[in-house]
DNA sequence: GAAAACTTGTAACGAAATGTGCCAGGCCAG
DNA sequence: CTGGCCTGGCACATTTCGTTACAAGTTTTC
């Protein structure tokens, strides 16, 4: 029933992040990797990341800075990896808002236990992440009410949306102008990974188009990116 | 304003628990002490403890046992103190449900940081409001009187609610905008776990809709989330 | 104290939502 | 221009949900 948690491992050293990701996958989690702050931000925007494992010492954007950013803009839990065993570093890390930290070198089994512990705590908290983004979003001739889960036309008439349609539309509206692969959409809508040759998203996009596009044969809002996925192309503005 | 968090320090050694409690008080927290499992249970029963700092190695009742008990019967966060730095011990502690742990000897400042981190997380969990008694909640075109267990329409006419219907509605009103699974609803309304394929909640929701929804075929207040459960979608405000 | 009224859980069936298989047609590389 | 890969959309299978009917338990009424 619960979708498999999706972990993002951020470390500049490939010899660390790749085996670590593999280890997590082998132990029943899903895992993505990022080599630095830029990659990490992109991944978080386009995937449904449930937890970030973050090396504190990285070239380019510092780990602490990324951690601070995550804490300010999301509720995604963070576990820090630190090379030094200094008390001060630990305290700074926790004070900045990390949920836990580990000192390198660490036992992968312990990291796994901590990930599960943090997730267990986080899972009990209903995540207001997306719903908080905006209460009502206007696009094309429509307004999507995120709280009431309703799509309202310019004439004020509500168009009924199924759960999957609503979720898919919400994902698009929160990421306009960004190409989203089928796998990313599947992750963002239902939290699961893609099976081999998964056409579920195609179908949902088709159904969504039938409801929101004036001419479903010539989609204007949700464009197909050949070989890439789908992209929402329209202004999205917040409505009070 | 937030009340000062109340910490319970459980350790069999007086040279540890007393200075520790003093240190916490000096740093803006309230602290109580207990020398063992029996004291600790009594203290938790009679005080509003917000967090427990617990030595894992104690004569009499073991720390782990107390931790497990706390996890099963309360939501109070636990930070474990362990004498050994063994990986396995750490893992066991986290798996048993502790929120964090520290290895002795530890830096008091670090313990303080961790206490604050755990409290910050715990506080963000929307705890079901306690003083719900004597309140009246307005939603849609209705007012639910929690005292009289009555549902009053905008025309002032009371609609009779059965016990289960009232309980279900109250649960929804206390958690608007949150998807509640069938299992959660069953737990919150009648305190029991879900049997295999329990459709009792579906029925209750259906009955509730028939009473509160203007058009039960197109529910506006209680929306169903396909594959997820149900969600109350409407503003809830208190009425004096 | 017994019958009637009401409540609530269980079963069952049809309806709705969603995923999968398939094929025709579109898009791109060579 | 042609073959291969990708997408759109239909039909169908599967899962999940809404509603009704009914039975068992509970409260009320006389």
3-state SS, one letter per residue, for B63-84 = HHHHHHHHHHHCCCCEEEEECC
Q: How far is residue B70's CA from residue B72's CA, in Å, rounded to a whole number?
A: 5
A136's CB contacts (< 8 A; 6+ apart) are A143, A144, A145, A146, A147, A238, A239, A240
pLDDT in tens, A176-187: 999 999 999 999
Q: Which residue has the higher pLDDT, B219 or B25?
A: B219
End-to-end CA distance of chain B: 21
Nearest CB partner across the interface for B99, out of A107, A121, A160: A121
A129 pLDDT above the threshold of 60: no
Contact A91/A73 with Cβ under 8 angstroms?
Answer: no
Helices and strands (DSSP H and E) totals, chain A: 9, 13
Mutation site for B-interface testing, chosen from A87, A126, A200 by largest number of B Cβ within 10 Å: A126
Is the CB of residue A167 less than 8 Å away from at least one CB of chain B?
no
Interchain CB distance below 8 Å, A107 and B124: no
- Which residues share a beta bridge with A150? A145
- Residue B130 reports pLDDT greater than 50: no
> How many interface pairs between A and B have CB atoms less than 8 angstroms apart?
72
Chain B residues within 8 A of A113 when measuring between CB atoms: 90-91, 94-95
**Which residues of chain A make contact with B231, given a CB cutoff of 8 A?**
149
Is the CB of residue A99 less than 8 Å away from at least one CB of chain B?
Answer: yes
Report B:28-57 residues touching A (Cβ under 8 A). none
Q: Which residues contact A203 (CB under 8 A, 6 or more apart)?
A: none
Q: Is the pLDDT of residue B132 over 50?
A: no
Q: Cβ of B192: how many Cβ atoms within 10 Å?
A: 10
Strand C at less than 7 A from CB of B206: no
3-state SS, residue B110:
helix
Q: Counting Cβ atoms within 10 Å, is residue A197 exposed (0-12), middle (13-18) or buried (19+)?
A: exposed
Per-residue pLDDT tens digits for B197-215: 689 999 999 999 999 999 9
Over 90: is that where the pLDDT of B154 sits? no
Per-residue confidence (pLDDT) for residue A122, from 0 to 100: 67
Q: Which two tokens stand for residue B61?
A: 């009742």
| pLDDT exceeds 80 at position A53 | yes
| Alpha carbon distance A186, A6 (integer Å) | 12
pLDDT of residue B151: 93
Mean pLDDT lowest among A53-62, A171-180, B129-138: B129-138
Q: Which of the residue ranges A91-95, B148-152, B174-178, B222-226 has the most confident prediction, judged by mean pLDDT?
A: B222-226
**% helix, strand, coil for chain A, step of 5:** 40, 20, 35
Task: Give the separation between CA A45 and CA A174, rounded to whole angstroms.
Answer: 9
Q: How confident is the model at residue B2 (pLDDT cuts 50, 70, 90)?
A: low
Q: pLDDT tens-digit profile of A59-111? A: 766 777 888 888 778 888 888 888 765 555 555 555 566 777 788 788 899 89
Q: How many CB atoms lie within 10 A of CB A27?
A: 13
Q: Does B94 touch chain A (CB under 8 A)?
A: yes
Higher pLDDT, B97 or A11: A11
Q: What is the structure's pLDDT at A37?
A: 87
- Nearest chain A residue to B123 by CA distance is A125
State the average pLDDT for chain B.
80
Answer yes or no: is pLDDT of A42 > 60: yes
CB contact under 8 A, A91 and B109: yes
pLDDT at residue A128, rounded to an integer = 45
Angle between helices B108-124 and A87-96 in degrees, nearest 10? 20
Q: DSSP assignment of B113-169, as one string? A: HHHHHHHHHHHHS-PPPSTTTT-EEEETTEEEETTTTEEEETTS-EE---HHHHHHH
Distance CA B56, CA B64 (A): 6
Q: How far apart are CA B142 and CA B209, in angstroms?
A: 13
Tell me which range, A58-67, A155-164, B85-94, is most confidently predicted by mean pLDDT: A155-164
Residue B140 CA, distance from chain mean position = 27
What is the pTM assigned to this prediction? 0.73
Range with the poorest average pLDDT among A38-42, A118-122, A149-153, B224-228: A118-122
Give the span between the Cα atoms of B185 and B171, in whole angstroms: 8
Please report residues of A whose CB lies closer than 8 A to that of B109: 87, 91
Contacts of B99 in chain A (CB under 8 A): 117, 121
Least confident of A133-137, A152-156, B225-229: A133-137
Indicate the pLDDT class of residue B127, thresholds 50, 70 and 90.
very low
pLDDT value of residue A132 = 47
């Amino acid at each position: 029933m619960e979708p498999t948690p999706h972990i993002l491992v951020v470390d500049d050293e490939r010899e660390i992040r790749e085996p670590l990701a593999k280890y997590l996958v082998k132990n029943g989690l899903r895992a993505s990797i990022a080599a630095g702050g830029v990659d990490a931000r992109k991944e978080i925007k386009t995937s449904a990341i449930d937890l970030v494992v973050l090396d504190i010492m990285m070239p380019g954007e510092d780990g602490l800075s990324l951690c601070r950013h995550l804490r300010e803009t999301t509720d995604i839990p963070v576990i820090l990896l630190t090379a030094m065993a200094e008390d001060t570093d630990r305290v700074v890390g926790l004070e900045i808002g990390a949920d836990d930290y580990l000192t390198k070198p660490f036992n992968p089994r312990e990291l796994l236990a901590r990930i599960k512990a943090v997730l267990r705590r986080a899972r009990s908290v209903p995540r207001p992440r997306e719903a908080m983004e905006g209460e009502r979003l206007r696009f094309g001739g429509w307004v999507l009410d995120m709280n009431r889960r309703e799509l309202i036309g310019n004439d004020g008439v509500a168009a009924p949306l199924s759960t999957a349609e609503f979720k898919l539309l919400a994902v698009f509206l929160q990421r306009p102008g960004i190409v989203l692969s089928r796998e990313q959409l599947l992750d963002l809508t239902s939290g699961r990974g893609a099976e081999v040759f998964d056409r579920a998203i195609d179908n949902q996009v088709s159904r969504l188009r039938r409801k929101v596009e004036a001419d479903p044969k010539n989609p204007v809002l949700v464009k197909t990116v050949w070989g890439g996925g789908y992209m929402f192309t329209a202004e999205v503005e917040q409505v009070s």
